[in-house]
C-alpha cells in the first residue's frame, strides 16, 4: 500500500455518500492523520457519513496517543506520512542550528527528556528541546547559560518527574516553561515539605503562655490524653487556624 493517503478519493466518496467504499478507503488509509480526519467530517451533512469518519478519527487519535515512537510529517502534496523513530544522534542532527551555543542547549534539554521520560521518542524530544532553546535565546536573557542549566536541571529532577512529563506531553508549552518561576516548577511534595517546615518553625517560636493543657486529644502513639496544644494562623486570615498538639510522650501532630 502506498504510504501517501489518497485524500481526493476520500473526499469524492464523502460527497457521493458511498458508505461501503468510504469505509474501505478509510480502513486502507493507515497513514492519514487524526486532525485531517476531523476536517473531513465537515465535508458532509450526512449523519451516517459523519459517524463513520468520527469512528475512524477516534481510532487514529487513540493510536497516535499510544505510539510514542512515531512522527508525522507532510510531503509535498500535503499528505500525512508516518515515520519510525530514529537514533539520538540522527534526531539531534535534524534539529541542529549550526550555532554551537544553541546546539549545546538543545543537547542538554534532549538529554533531560531522555533521563526522565521512559517512553521518550528521540524525534519528539529533539524537536521539543529545540523549541525550548529558541524560546530562551529569543528572550536574550543576561545569562543564557545559567537559565539553560536551571531549566535542564528541573526537567532532569528525579524527584519531580511530573514536571518533565507535562512539558513533554505538551501540557506545558515551551514558552510557558521558560517563563515559569522556581516556585512554579517545584513538585507538590517539595511544596508540602516547605509548608510543614514553616509551620514547625512557627510552632517552635510560640511563647509558653500560648500553650494550653487538655485531655481533649488522645495520642495515637501512647494512647494517653496528657497533651498540650497551641493554635496558629498558618494560612490566610479567612481560613481555619492550625492546631499543634504535643503529648507528654513526645509525639506531635497537627490539624486544621
Locate 87 and state its grid cell.
537514533
Tens-place pLDDT, residues 191-247: 677 667 766 666 566 544 456 778 889 898 898 998 888 887 766 667 778 888 889
| Model pTM score | 0.48
pLDDT of 151 > 90? The answer is yes
H-run or E-run covering 72: strand 70-74
Q: What is the pLDDT of residue 138?
A: 86
The more confidently predicted of residues 144 and 237 is 144
Tens-place pLDDT, residues 92-125: 999 999 999 999 999 999 999 999 998 899 999 9
Q: What is the pLDDT of residue 69?
A: 43
The more confidently predicted of residues 49 and 192 is 49
CB 44 within 8 A of CB 11: no
Locate 164 and state its grid cell.
518533565
Q: Which residues of 14-40 are buried (b: 16+ CB within 10 A; e: fewer)?
A: beeeeeeebeebbeebebbbbebbeeb
Q: Which residues of 48-69 are buried (b: 16+ CB within 10 A; e: fewer)?
A: ebbebbeebbeebeeeeeeeee
User: What residue has cell string 455518500?
Assistant: 17
Amino acid at each position: 500500500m502506498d504510504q501517501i493517503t489518497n485524500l481526493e478519493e476520500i473526499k469524492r466518496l464523502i460527497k457521493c455518500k458511498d458508505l461501503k467504499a468510504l469505509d474501505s478507503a478509510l480502513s486502507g488509509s493507515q497513514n492519514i492523520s487524526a486532525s485531517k480526519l476531523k476536517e473531513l467530517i465537515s465535508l458532509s451533512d450526512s449523519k451516517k457519513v459523519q459517524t463513520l469518519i468520527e469512528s475512524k478519527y477516534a481510532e487514529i487519535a487513540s493510536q497516535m496517543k499510544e505510539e510514542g515512537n512515531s512522527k508525522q510529517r507532510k510531503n509535498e502534496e500535503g499528505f500525512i506520512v508516518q515515520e519510525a523513530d530514529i537514533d539520538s544522534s540522527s534526531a539531534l542532527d535534524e534539529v541542529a542550528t549550526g550555532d554551537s551555543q544553541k546546539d549545546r542547549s538543545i543537547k542538554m534539554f534532549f538529554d533531560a527528556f531522555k533521563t526522565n521520560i521512559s517512553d521518550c521518542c528521540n524525534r519528539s524530544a529533539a524537536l521539543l528541546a529545540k523549541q525550548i532553546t529558541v524560546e530562551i535565546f529569543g528572550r536574550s536573557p543576561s545569562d543564557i547559560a545559567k537559565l539553560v542549566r536551571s531549566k535542564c536541571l528541573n526537567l532532569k529532577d528525579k524527584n519531580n518527574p511530573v514536571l518533565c512529563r507535562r512539558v513533554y506531553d505538551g501540557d506545558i508549552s515551551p514558552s510557558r516553561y521558560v517563563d515559569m518561576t522556581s516556585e512554579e516548577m517545584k513538585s507538590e511534595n517539595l511544596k508540602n515539605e516547605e509548608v510543614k517546615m514553616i509551620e514547625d518553625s512557627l510552632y517552635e517560636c510560640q511563647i509558653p503562655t500560648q500553650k494550653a493543657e487538655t485531655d481533649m486529644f488522645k495520642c495515637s502513639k501512647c494512647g494517653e490524653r496528657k497533651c498540650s496544644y497551641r493554635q496558629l494562623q498558618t494560612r490566610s486570615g479567612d481560613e481555619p487556624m492550625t492546631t499543634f498538639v504535643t503529648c507528654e510522650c513526645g509525639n506531635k501532630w497537627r490539624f486544621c
